[in-house]
């Protein structure tokens, strides 16, 4: 992969204008917004079932226009700052899945599963703002979505490579493109002024100990992604469980008992999520 090619790919990725989202999520958010008795908490909960809508809300609230660049990492906080009218405008401008992207529905479920796992890990470890860990989990595979939309010719090749070699999606990306979705996450996070805790978590979720300032966030997302794969909740693009870094558990102080508590909580959370899955 030449530097010129990588620069060209990066340019195409960052030129993204429209990302598909789940029609049911859009319908539900629209319905809630039309009801004067709806709280921001209710709307935030539905938005967090969709990685694209969540990313759009965070991108907007962290843009220099609002005066909080790189500072807002909670969906509920973002909704309070933006106001319903702005969010309504965002929703109107969002496209729904077309047939090409229906195959990515499993990725949506996987992302929601990872968000639930990260939230549970953060709660059980008594971390401040578990919702922010959940948001990081939700967005950890955003690079896959953006690449599929902006580099559509690459997706079938990646899928063929995953099947032919029985490798992870990340290994296929690196083999074909010279970089993975984690690098795409880093580009998007910088381009959209996402807060540094979210940026590091999504850029380093495969190599959590490489994160500079927010290693705990990256470790939580790394473990959340792993557990979601083990439970086979949704689909991350391949059938392989990613390489697990045991040092991530050690750094968080997540012992066997705490992990068992996480697994118990997750069984219930995944069952509940499967019942109200929007995909």
C-beta of residue 76 within 8 angstroms of C-beta of residue 131: yes
Written as tens digits, the pLDDT of the chain (279 aa) is 677 888 889 999 999 888 878 778 888 888 998 899 999 999 999 999 899 899 999 999 999 988 888 999 999 999 999 998 888 888 877 766 665 556 677 888 899 999 999 999 999 999 999 999 999 999 999 999 999 889 989 989 999 999 999 999 999 999 999 999 999 999 999 999 999 999 999 999 999 999 999 999 999 999 999 999 988 898 888 888 888 899 999 999 999 999 999 999 998 888 877 766 555
DSSP 115-132: HHHHHHHHHHTT-S-HHH
- The DSSP H or E segment spanning 20 is strand 20-21
- The DSSP H or E segment spanning 95 is strand 95-96
Question: Which residues neighbour 174 within 8 Å (Cβ) at sequence distance 6 or greater?
Answer: 180
* Three-state DSSP state, 21: strand
C-beta of residue 148 within 8 angstroms of C-beta of residue 101: yes
pTM (two decimals): 0.91
Question: Which residues neighbour 140 within 8 Å (Cβ) at sequence distance 6 or greater?
Answer: 111, 114, 185, 201, 202, 205, 221, 224, 225
* Three-state DSSP state, 96: strand
C-beta of residue 75 within 8 angstroms of C-beta of residue 58: yes
- From CA 120, how far away is CA 124, in angstroms rounded? 6
Q: What domains does the chain contain, in order, with CATH numbers? A: 3-96 (1.10.3210.10), 101-275 (1.10.3210.10)
């Amino acid at each position: 992969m030449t530097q010129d090619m990588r620069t060209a790919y990066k340019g195409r990725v960052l030129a993204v204008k429209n990302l598909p989202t789940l029609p049911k999520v859009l319908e539900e958010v629209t319905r809630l917004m039309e009801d004067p008795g709806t709280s921001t908490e209710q709307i935030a909960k539905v938005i967090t079932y969709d990685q694209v809508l969540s990313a759009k809300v965070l991108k907007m609230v962290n843009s220099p226009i609002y005066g909080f660049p790189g500072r807002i990492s909670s969906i509920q906080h973002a909704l309070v700052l933006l106001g319903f009218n702005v969010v309504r405008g965002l929703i109107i401008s969002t496209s729904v899945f077309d047939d090409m992207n229906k195959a990515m529905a499993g990725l949506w479920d996987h992302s929601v599963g990872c968000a639930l796992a990260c939230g549970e890990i953060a709660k059980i470890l008594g971390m401040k703002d578990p919702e922010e860990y959940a948001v990081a989990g939700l967005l950890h595979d955003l690079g896959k979505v953006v690449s599929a939309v902006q580099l559509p010719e690459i997706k079938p090749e990646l899928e063929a490579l995953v099947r032919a070699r029985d490798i992870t999606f990340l290994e296929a990306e690196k083999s074909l493109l010279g970089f993975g979705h984690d690098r795409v996450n880093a580009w998007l996070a910088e381009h959209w002024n996402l807060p540094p805790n979210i940026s590091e978590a999504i850029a380093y979720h495969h190599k959590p100990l490489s994160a500079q300032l927010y290693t705990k966030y990256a470790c939580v997302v790394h473990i959340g992604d792993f557990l979601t794969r083990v439970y086979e909740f949704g689909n991350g693009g391949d059938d392989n469980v990613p390489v697990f870094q045991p040092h991530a558990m050690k750094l968080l102080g997540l012992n066997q008992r705490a992990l068992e508590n996480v697994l118990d909580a997750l069984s219930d959370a995944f069952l509940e999520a499967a019942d109200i899955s929007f995909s």
